[in-house]
Amino acid sequence: MALSLALAGVMATIDMSTVEANDTEETTQPEYIKNLFNKDDIMEIDIDIDEKLWNELADNAMEEEYYSANITINGETYYNVGLRAKGNTTLSQIANDDTTDRYSFKVKFDEYIDGQTLKGLEKLALNNMMQDTTYMKEYLSYGLLNKMGVSTPAFQYASITLNGEPWGLYLALEVMEESYIERYCGTTGGNLYKPETTNMAKNNMPMEQGKEINGPMGRNTGGADLVYSGDEHSNYSTIFENAIFDYTNEDDYDKIIAMIKSLNEDINKIEKHLDVDEVLRYFAVNTFVVNLDSYASNMKHNYYLYEQDGICSILPWDYNLAFGAFQGESASNVINFPIDNPVGDSLESSPLIGKLLEVEEYKEKYHEYLNEIVQDYVNSGVFTETINNIDNLIGGYVKNDATAFYTYEEYVASIPELITYGVDRAKSISAQLSGSQSSTSTGNMATNLNLSALGSQGGGGNREGKDIPQDIKENNNPEKGMGIGEKANNMQNNPEKGAPQGTFKPGNNPGDINRENSLNNMRINTSNDTNIKSNLIIYGICLLGIISAIIVVLRFKRKKYHV
């Protein structure tokens, strides 16, 4: 509630005709907001790092260790900052791809110089657009979240050079830490957590060895799903081991557990522990953009929990796989994603939305926010206008992107598809709200969307056809309950088993993910078959060699015997 109250006065005067990176009163904003993040400009960033250190960073990117560098932002140089690679699956993919070093980065300004900041900002994230042909998924998502009254990091496009060489167009993001919380809440007295189920602890460092693996493979989310499992702090390890602030203590943990217990067992008192309105706004946007690389799948990650005075809020993070890029399966399934079952696993294992939707008042409010997105954002023309404005801003940079994962032609082709996504998704949501389409299982409204043209998990990289790392294959497996189309969501993708009308058959229709220019998707589905075929060929050759050798030996023996 604290975050929503801080934005309430501002949201009353917001014009939905623009996408703002910063929608709070300018007079209350720190210097880095007033003088750095500007949605109408491109941030210019020059990274200068010793060649030996750069090679070490690139060769050991998975370690996510900081290296000393100088960084010049819009003409102002900051010396001896910390620079490291960042990411999850994107980091793994690039580290395993010898054709590119276009990592996402995190810049820590006080890593080597105490007190150094970027006009008050401690850390800056630089995202590499790896899975986004449009270059717009995160920008649009954060902009819409802003418009719907959800606190977001500041964001802006950034053109980067590295050691004097053009490096490409990135998205610069304010990292959610002390400066962010103070900016939105006016205080840093609350507690911030980043639940992470991929066996990573605070600051992306590995958790203690020997602990149970959390997430899709281990299935136990360590509390990140917000399912109540008793009052023991250890039951919620993926929350508490990822506390952002050092001053957070066990008494603070109890406030989180109190919220979780109320959410699961005493929903009538949940507003004493949770900013319900903010959560409903968050899920309305998340549902519109179909972002399953989040709390809304069994990954249960890519979100922050903020607690102040016993009231908890959810804060958004990482939307590079929004617009159905994570486990979308088909354009039809994404467009018809059910608004009242907006998760990739089950509502039972997703109480943050599942329990709230059991309360009719909350469900109605959630529907109001979805309708607001449909009417005021899409049907009004704002969505299309915003995309065109962004294209005018970044198109030239994309065309000249030296290390791009996609061609400029693919970028140009993705823009009308992105508009189609918004228009068709809005139609589906309207039909679900009116009752003409199911809101709890996948509907059958037709769409001509080419989903793969927008980019997807693993998209853009791996153009040379390298094998996808095993951890990425497993995380991208719809059978693990993370995707649209799985049994928990009552979505069927097999036409022979009653697939919804309009579902595209792989290889024949728009929306297929097995596209020639998306080899990464194709290899996820075919790499095992390819390996088997290759092995059979090798075995066959070896067998023929052995048979030939036996024949030669037998003939030699026969000749020797007759001599």
CB-based contacts of 176, cutoff 8 Å, min separation 6 = 153, 192, 194, 244, 304, 315, 317
Residue 391: CB atoms within 10 Å: 17
Task: Report the number of secondary-structure helices (H) and strands (E) in the chain.
Answer: 16, 10
How is the chain split among helix, strand and coil, in percent rounded to 5? 45, 15, 45
Per-residue pLDDT, 480: 37
Longest dimension (CA), the chain: 107
- Which of 26 and 126 is assigned the larger pLDDT? 126
Task: Look at 472 and 173; give whichever has higher pLDDT.
Answer: 173
What's the pLDDT tens digit per position in 408-450? 999 999 999 999 999 999 999 999 999 999 999 999 999 999 9
**Res 333 pLDDT > 90:** yes
pLDDT of residue 509: 31
Stated as kind and residue range, the H or E segment containing 184 is helix 178-185
DSSP 23: -
Q: Taking CA 178 as the corner, what is the angle to CA 177 and CA 181, rounded to the nearest 5 degrees?
A: 85
**What are the backbone angles phi and psi of residue 77, rounded to the nearest 5°?**
-95, 135
The per-residue pLDDT for 542 is 55
Q: Does pLDDT of 493 surpass 90?
A: no
Q: What percent of the chain has pLDDT over 90?
A: 68
- Confidence (pLDDT) at 270: 99
44, β-bridge pairs: 159
Nearest to 129 by CA among 347, 398, 372, 374: 398
pLDDT tens column, 58-95:
999 999 999 999 999 999 999 999 999 999 888 999 99
Residue in the block written with tokens 């962010």 = 180
Whether pLDDT at 328 is above 80: no
Q: What percent of the chain has pLDDT over 70?
A: 72
SS3 537: helix
Mean pLDDT of the chain: 81
Which is more confidently placed, 376 or 23? 376
Amino acid type, 281? R
pLDDT tens profile 33-67: 999 999 999 999 999 999 999 999 999 999 999 99
Question: What pLDDT shows up at residue 203?
Answer: 44
Cα–Cα distance, 275 to 312 (Å, whole number): 6
What local confidence, expressed as pLDDT, does residue 305 receive?
98
pTM of the entire predicted model: 0.78
CA-CA-CA-CA torsion sign (76, 79, 81, 84): positive
Q: At what angle do helices 408-434 and 276-288 cross, to 10 degrees?
A: 120
Residue 214, pLDDT above cutoff 60: no
**pLDDT above 80: residue 200:** no
pLDDT attached to residue 543: 63
d(CA 543, CA 286): 56
Confidence of residue 298 (pLDDT cuts 50, 70, 90): confident
Q: Per-residue pLDDT tens for 475-484?
A: 433 333 444 5
pLDDT at site 461:
42
Residue 28 makes CB contacts below 8 A (sequence gap 6+) with 183, 186
Please check whether residue 237 is in contact with residue 248, taking contact to mean a CB–CB distance below 8 angstroms. no
In whole angstroms, what is the distance from residue 216 CA to residue 482 CA?
8
For the chain, how big is the Rg over CA atoms in Å?
A: 25
Q: Confidence band (pLDDT; 50, 70, 90) for 323? A: very high
Instruction: Cite the DSSP H helix spans in 72-150.
Output: 89-95, 137-147
160: pLDDT confidence band, cut at 50, 70 and 90?
very high
The answer on pLDDT for 279 being more than 70 is yes
| 210 pLDDT more than 60 | no
* Short-list 125, 174, 164, CA closest to 46: 164
Tokens of 464: 């040379």
Average pLDDT over residues 116-130: 98
Is 130 strand, coil or helix?
coil
What pLDDT is recorded for position 221? 73
- Tell me the β-bridge partners of 394: none
For residue 100, what pLDDT is reported? Answer: 96
Residue 16 one-letter amino acid: M
Spatial contact of 216 and 474, defined as CB atoms under 8 Å apart: yes
Average pLDDT over residues 378-399: 99
**Which residue intervals of 313-381 are DSSP H helices?**
331-335, 351-357, 360-372
Question: Which pLDDT band holds residue 550 (cuts at 50, 70, 90)?
Answer: low
| Confidence bin at 28 (pLDDT 50/70/90) | confident
Beta bridge partners of 76: 73
- The span from the CA of 60 to the CA of 375, in Å, is 48
| Rounded CA separation 171/322 (Å) | 15
Assess whether pLDDT exceeds 90 at residue 239. yes
The mean per-residue pLDDT over the stretch 121-135 comes to 97
Question: Quick one: pLDDT at residue 455?
Answer: 94
Instruction: Please say whether the beta carbons of 359 and 280 come within 8 A.
Output: no
Helix (H) or strand (E) holding 174: strand 165-174
Residues 395-403: what's their mean pLDDT?
98
Give the residue among 271, 306, 316, 300 at the shortest CA–CA distance from 149.
316
Distance (Å, rounded) from C-alpha 176 to C-alpha 377? Answer: 27
